[in-house]
Structure 1
Amino acid sequence: MERFIPDELIDRIREGVDIVSVISEQLSLKKTGQNFTGLCPFHSEKTPSFVVSPAKQIFHCFGCGAGGNVFHFLMKHENLTFPQAVRSLSERAGISIPEVSKRDEKIEDAKEPLYKANELAMEFFSRNLAEAKEGERARQYLEKRGIEKKTIQEFNIGYSLSQWDAAYRHLRQKGIETAALEKAGLIIRKDSGDGFYDRFRDRIIFPILDLKKRVIGFGGRVLDDSLPKYINSPESTIYIKGENLYCLEKARQEIGKRGYLLIVEGYLDAIMTYQKGIKNAAATLGTALTQGHLRLIKRFTNNIVLVFDPDSAGKKAAIRSASFFIESGMKAKVASLSEGTDPDTFLREKGVEAFIDKLKNSEKLLDFVIRETKGKEPLSSIDEKVKVVDEVLPLINRLPNKIERNAYVRRLAEELQLDEKDIFAELENRAQKKGYKSGEKKEPLKEGTAHSGLQKRINHSGAKAEEMLIHLMLNDESIAKRVKDQLSPDDFKDPLFKRVTGIVYNVIESGKEFNAVFKTEDAEMAGLFSALSMRELDYDDREQSFYDCVQKIKGAGIKERMKTLQEKLRIAEKNGDTDSINRILEEKTRLLKQ
């Protein structure tokens, strides 16, 4: 069970293992100077770009950007959560982690009967499909849909009998309490309040498993055209729709090989893609993609291809998810299928090669949003064009990269036959109303943006100086302390470097050993630290470089403040505000003397 592990215990475990020893068990490492190098296990390469530092006990790949400490390596290599990685290494370090508390035991104990009920229900449904006379219609249906017997067994597909309480009676005979069956959503209390009946009756049953391969819920499909076509287990203490994806427990290994996750909409879509050899697909569970889904997916990849049904609902689902993907720093594409077909139908009718071609020709999510929002026909009405701008511009404004923002503004202007200057003006106008520049956000840095932000440097005066100074700080504690005496985190324009500087200063103030800056549990920040600290930068004179960087950053701050004061002065003079004019002039004089 995942639970809180004390920081001091995590530190002891980290110090009790050697990162070089752990990683060398998974790949061949060669001593290169003070570090070790090898071929990165997280992406395909021929020239080693994967570096391990025994001194700092961190690793970094200069090819794909993966990085962090020994826990982060194990998390990424074995697809583990942080607590799981800590527990795995605790055995190696010979350090025992205390058992769960009484409170945690009670919570876990309350879940166990639900897991047990679902497990037995899955076995019951599977046996019905395989052996029951009444299951013949279901067997014929699956055969007609092209689902092979091997696939049925692998996915534990089942059938619920048409009787009102067949599952209820069977599971009670197996010793499962009525309360557990109700909490698991397998039975429903009658309106009269007297007795229960089965939730799933006369339906094909698809068990839903979590990453630990425990049965957490079910989906049920009718055998004809009656409605509702699908019903799903209600949410419970073990099943939350917005935090689980169907078939992800099977797709997780293949995701690492292919480098992306394929998101489809239905159970049969995921099953058919798997059966056809495309095993990196998972399905949403009758709900739109959520932030919880993205947090789950980010444990395995930052790259997604969406293959939603090409009907209006499927298109709307893809468009709704755009803002989530942009804010999370994930890269999403959309593969568009023929009208009237879903992945299951497309694969059966047109084959694997045609489907793979669609995946190869998938377009970036924002390109898809622009195309679908605009529609196929040229827009003549200015109101229609404004409506498209209103829908698309907020997404463009969220893009963290200025070059990408500008490119999409031009693309939008071209699609709508508008002057790009007008759209740029509208973009800037909206940004000013919200109080920040395009691409910048007032909210805290979102998970997943750290490394991508490092790769896509923000263009501002002093950016190179900030990066160089951070590098000096992470490699020399004495320099870090002197920087702290002269600059505050707010003096750094880059939000990433502000965050890094704050962490470094906190470590210095706490009196901890300086290497504690590399001990963050945040995998994204760990990757950023490893990238910055292990980057090779040459200094003719470290002391002079330190001085120059500090002066450059201070100067950039003064220059920025002078621009702000000049604008305030212009407004004060226009309003005839003598007091403000004098106050602004005094501050400008003070800044000029610095």
Structure 2
Amino acid sequence: MKRIANNFIDELLSHVDIVNVVDSRVSLKKAGRNLQACCPFHDEKTPSFTVSPTKQFYHCFGCGASGNAIRFVMEFEHLSFVDAVEKLAETYQIPVRYDQVDTVKQQKRKNLYDLLDETATYYTNNLYQPTGEKARKYLAMRQLDVETADFFRLGFSLPGNTLQRQFNGDFSNEDLTKAGLLAQGNNGAYDQFRERLMFPIRDARGRVLGFGARALGDAMPKYLNSSETDVFQKRFVLYGLYELLQSSTKVERLIVVEGYMDVIALYQKGILGAVATLGTAFTPEHLQLAQKYTHKIYICFDGDNAGKRAAERALSVILPVMRLDVEIRFVFLPDGEDPDTLVRQIGQKAFNAHLEKGVIFSEFVYESLIGDSQLEFVEGRGEVAARARKLFDELPNSDFKGLLYQGLKERLGMDIYQLSKPTIAERHPAAPFVPSQPSARHYGASQYRGTAESHLIRLLSMYPLLAVHVLHLSLIQQAQQPDALLLYKMIRYLQLHGNQPAVILHFSEHLNELERQRFHAIMTQENVGTLLPGETEETKNHRLHKEFVIMLENYLNRLRDKTIKRLEINYSAPIN
């Protein structure tokens, strides 16, 4: 992993003006000594995003996003720290200094990136020459327009061996081989890609890592990817991610498909979010990459038996690392259809509707465990219990595992670890721990202490609809107090799962043991809801609604003042 020299960061920031960095991406307006805009990191109508020219930092009072110019580029363009530093340095024409041990290695990687980029340009030029007519006819047959082809930087590799002649004197055969562009045969080196439609594979910064290629003649295989190199490992790359990031600053969802043409066809039909796994199975690294950009992921599979087997393999990859804040759906396509053909057949609206009909991940887990077993018979329930125990014993402990286990108990009407003697459960320490409900005696009247947050929690439990009034969740999350975190979780839960009164009954299932005890104490001992003299239920409800709104506003103002003071302290010294 490359390392930026420590003293280079200060040098870079001394040359960078955060106002220019932000304003080139988001339109800023003067607001006193600072500048403002609607935050690019969350949806809002009233500007709460502030940039300070004097202190060279930005802060959003809506979502809590905050940092210097490097942090802004990282968040806005979804780049790593090193990539953001390199991009800023390139913009301001400042040579990046790396730790000495990395200098040689970094130069070699840069040479590879330069070679691959020039090769992509060469292939693109070929596409629009007379020799590229076959490729252009293929694109026309697939109904891809010129704008889309240019956006994805498509190209054409000529028949025969042309790269050594094209780059003679600039890059050696060794360079071409290390970039995955040349292969070795009995008669020496030859072009890896010949007479093929070329798809440059780019990282989040837009650097070309390798190529995908489709044969336009009789060559086999029909689809071919670059071999893995120092800069290209398939399990870490999602084709189309760079193009998606250029289309939208906020990634609402990812639609994982199999082929390049699926990604491109969906884009041309106005369906954003499609990425492809480059002919390899969905990997833990793919999931980790996807989660950096969104919490909503659709994975498309063929509707036949092969597609179902692929979904089972994806399940085994995803389940050990699944998180509660991620929604994954398995989308099965009609037999004989892929995303490309399906979207052309049914259109954008119907395709999006088909995605929403996908099987939610936890439901697919249950379906896989139960299968064809007949639960009305002892034998069928035993089959499911055996499969489920094997699954849960192999999973690492996590919140998702605990909730999945609870859901299976409710679905089966039995505990798979309590089928005979209690000692069975003792022999399975990996089984999720499900604590019993705490009683009020854990918090006697003399022990209970209320807070502003606990009062808001109690009001929310009575009137869940009030959760819609909370727009600045990050301020509460950053308060770092136990009751503040509990309040944050409750509001987030209501906003995600609906705010009907019945929903609150299941909130405690999402808490740890200490949080559950505190929540129970608040529910039983926080004094809210008593009728005042001459008050009716209707007037009481009106009073408590107003009390919540006023109390919430005062509470958020206090948190906002604390945040400003903290930022003043943090940024009064040079930013490192």
What is the TM-score of this pair, normalised by structure 1? 0.60
Corresponding letter in the other structure for 1:117: L
| Residue in structure 1 matched with residue 121 of structure 2 by the alignment | 123
**Contact persistence 1:306–1:318 (CA under 8 A):** no
Q: Is 2:395 the counterpart of 1:408?
A: no
Q: Is 2:347 the counterpart of 1:354?
A: no
Q: Is 2:174 the counterpart of 1:179?
A: yes
Please, which of 465, 479, 489 is the counterpart of residue 532 of structure 1? 479
Corresponding letter in the other structure for 2:229: S
- Pick closer, same or farther for the CA change 1:357–1:91 going to 2, 3 Å: closer
**Contact persistence 1:402–1:439 (CA under 8 A):** no
- Pick closer, same or farther for the CA change 1:222–1:15 going to 2, 3 Å: closer
- Pick closer, same or farther for the CA change 1:210–1:87 going to 2, 3 Å: closer
| Residue in structure 1 matched with residue 432 of structure 2 by the alignment | 438
**Contact persistence 1:398–1:439 (CA under 8 A):** no
Kindly state the Cα deviation for residue 271 of structure 1 after the two structures are TM-superposed: 0.8
| Residue in structure 1 matched with residue 139 of structure 2 by the alignment | 142
| Residue in structure 1 matched with residue 149 of structure 2 by the alignment | 152
Kindly state the Cα deviation for residue 235 of structure 1 after the two structures are TM-superposed: 1.0
Q: Is 2:385 the counterpart of 1:389?
A: no
Kindly state the Cα deviation for residue 139 of structure 1 after the two structures are TM-superposed: 3.0
Kindly state the Cα deviation for residue 390 of structure 1 after the two structures are TM-superposed: 5.0
| Residue in structure 1 matched with residue 163 of structure 2 by the alignment | 168
- Pick closer, same or farther for the CA change 1:18–1:150 going to 2, 3 Å: closer
- Pick closer, same or farther for the CA change 1:254–1:154 going to 2, 3 Å: closer
The 1-side partners of 2:263 and 2:154 are apart by 13
Q: Secondary structure at the match of 2:415?
A: helix
Could you report, residue by residue, the CA deviation over 1:41-90 in whole angstroms, capped at 9, with x for unpaired residues?
423246888899999x996777xx66565465553234232345567899
The 1-side partners of 2:338 and 2:425 are apart by 39
Corresponding letter in the other structure for 2:139: L
| Residue in structure 2 matched with residue 228 of structure 1 by the alignment | 221
- Of 115-124 and 277-286, deviating more is 115-124
Q: Secondary structure at the match of 2:250?
A: helix
Q: Secondary structure at the match of 1:422?
A: coil
Please, which of 400, 414, 419 is the counterpart of residue 420 of structure 1? 414
Kindly state the Cα deviation for residue 156 of structure 1 after the two structures are TM-superposed: 2.2
**Contact persistence 1:37–1:51 (CA under 8 A):** yes
Please, which of 241, 245, 250 is the counterpart of residue 248 of structure 1? 241
Corresponding letter in the other structure for 1:334: F
Please, which of 208, 233, 242 is the counterpart of residue 215 of structure 1? 208
- Of 306-315 and 178-187, deviating more is 306-315
Corresponding letter in the other structure for 2:415: K
Corresponding letter in the other structure for 1:181: L
**Contact persistence 1:255–1:301 (CA under 8 A):** no
Q: Is 2:284 the counterpart of 1:299?
A: no
- Pick closer, same or farther for the CA change 1:391–1:366 going to 2, 3 Å: farther
**Contact persistence 1:323–1:395 (CA under 8 A):** no
The 2-side partners of 1:161 and 1:293 are apart by 32
Q: Is 2:295 the counterpart of 1:338?
A: no
The 2-side partners of 1:72 and 1:315 are apart by 37
Q: Secondary structure at the match of 1:335?
A: strand
Kindly state the Cα deviation for residue 124 of structure 1 after the two structures are TM-superposed: 3.2
| Residue in structure 2 matched with residue 271 of structure 1 by the alignment | 264
Kindly state the Cα deviation for residue 405 of structure 1 after the two structures are TM-superposed: 3.1
The 2-side partners of 1:302 and 1:234 are apart by 31
Corresponding letter in the other structure for 2:243: K
| Residue in structure 2 matched with residue 487 of structure 1 by the alignment | none
Could you report, residue by residue, the CA deviation over 1:147-197 in whole angstroms, capped at 9, with x for unpaired residues?
22222222222233342xx2334334363210011111111111x4x5112
Corresponding letter in the other structure for 2:384: K
- Pick closer, same or farther for the CA change 1:529–1:144 going to 2, 3 Å: same
Corresponding letter in the other structure for 2:81: F
Q: Is 2:255 the counterpart of 1:262?
A: yes
The 2-side partners of 1:139 and 1:377 are apart by 53
Kindly state the Cα deviation for residue 234 of structure 1 after the two structures are TM-superposed: 1.0
**Contact persistence 2:256–2:276 (CA under 8 A):** yes
Kindly state the Cα deviation for residue 205 of structure 1 after the two structures are TM-superposed: 1.7
Kindly state the Cα deviation for residue 232 of structure 1 after the two structures are TM-superposed: 0.9
Kindly state the Cα deviation for residue 268 of structure 1 after the two structures are TM-superposed: 0.8
Q: Secondary structure at the match of 2:213?
A: strand
The 2-side partners of 1:392 and 1:225 are apart by 45
Kindly state the Cα deviation for residue 115 of structure 1 after the two structures are TM-superposed: 2.4
- Counterparts of 1:369-384 in structure 2, within 5 Å, are 369-372=365-368, 374-375=370-371, 382=380
Kindly state the Cα deviation for residue 371 of structure 1 after the two structures are TM-superposed: 2.9
**Contact persistence 2:388–2:416 (CA under 8 A):** no
The 1-side partners of 2:88 and 2:124 are apart by 38
Could you report, residue by residue, the CA deviation over 1:18-56 in whole angstroms, capped at 9, with x for unpaired residues?
99999998778999xxxx99965423246888899999x
- Counterparts of 1:23-42 in structure 2, within 5 Å, are 40-42=39-41
Can you give the 5+ residue segments of structure 1 that lack an aligned partner in the other structure?
Answer: 441-460, 472-526, 539-551, 557-594
The 1-side partners of 2:280 and 2:102 are apart by 30
The 1-side partners of 2:330 and 2:128 are apart by 37
The 1-side partners of 2:354 and 2:262 are apart by 15
The 2-side partners of 1:162 and 1:430 are apart by 67
| Residue in structure 1 matched with residue 76 of structure 2 by the alignment | 77
The 2-side partners of 1:240 and 1:348 are apart by 32
Could you report, residue by residue, the CA deviation over 1:288-313 in whole angstroms, capped at 9, with x for unpaired residues?
23333334334322332222343235
Q: Secondary structure at the match of 1:287?
A: coil
Can you give the 5+ residue segments of structure 2 that lack an aligned partner in the other structure?
Answer: 435-441, 454-473, 486-512, 518-576
Could you report, residue by residue, the CA deviation over 1:222-246 in whole angstroms, capped at 9, with x for unpaired residues?
3478753322111111112122211
Q: Secondary structure at the match of 2:332?
A: coil
**Contact persistence 2:324–2:399 (CA under 8 A):** no
- Counterparts of 1:16-95 in structure 2, within 5 Å, are 40-45=39-44, 67=65, 69-70=67-68, 72=71, 74-83=73-82
**Contact persistence 1:263–1:308 (CA under 8 A):** no
- Pick closer, same or farther for the CA change 1:169–1:142 going to 2, 3 Å: same
| Residue in structure 2 matched with residue 290 of structure 1 by the alignment | 283
| Residue in structure 1 matched with residue 497 of structure 2 by the alignment | none
**Contact persistence 1:128–1:158 (CA under 8 A):** yes
Corresponding letter in the other structure for 1:186: L
Kindly state the Cα deviation for residue 314 of structure 1 after the two structures are TM-superposed: 3.8
State the Cα RMSD in Å: 5.2
The 2-side partners of 1:137 and 1:116 are apart by 28
- Pick closer, same or farther for the CA change 1:155–1:404 going to 2, 3 Å: same
| Residue in structure 2 matched with residue 99 of structure 1 by the alignment | 97
**Contact persistence 2:79–2:204 (CA under 8 A):** no
Kindly state the Cα deviation for residue 272 of structure 1 after the two structures are TM-superposed: 0.9
Q: Is 2:108 the counterpart of 1:110?
A: yes
**Contact persistence 1:259–1:301 (CA under 8 A):** yes
Corresponding letter in the other structure for 2:208: V
- Pick closer, same or farther for the CA change 1:253–1:119 going to 2, 3 Å: closer
The 2-side partners of 1:397 and 1:101 are apart by 37
Could you report, residue by residue, the CA deviation over 1:190-222 in whole angstroms, capped at 9, with x for unpaired residues?
1x4x51122122322211112222221011223
Q: Secondary structure at the match of 1:231?
A: strand
**Contact persistence 1:309–1:343 (CA under 8 A):** no
- Of 20-29 and 224-233, deviating more is 20-29
What is the TM-score of this pair, normalised by structure 2? 0.62
The 1-side partners of 2:290 and 2:88 are apart by 24
The 1-side partners of 2:319 and 2:368 are apart by 15
**Contact persistence 2:214–2:224 (CA under 8 A):** yes
**Contact persistence 2:302–2:333 (CA under 8 A):** yes
**Contact persistence 1:273–1:281 (CA under 8 A):** yes
Corresponding letter in the other structure for 2:179: A
- Pick closer, same or farther for the CA change 1:17–1:159 going to 2, 3 Å: closer
- Of 379-388 and 280-289, deviating more is 379-388
Q: Secondary structure at the match of 1:249?
A: helix
| Residue in structure 2 matched with residue 316 of structure 1 by the alignment | 312
The 2-side partners of 1:127 and 1:430 are apart by 68
The 2-side partners of 1:409 and 1:397 are apart by 17
Corresponding letter in the other structure for 2:414: E
The 2-side partners of 1:261 and 1:338 are apart by 20
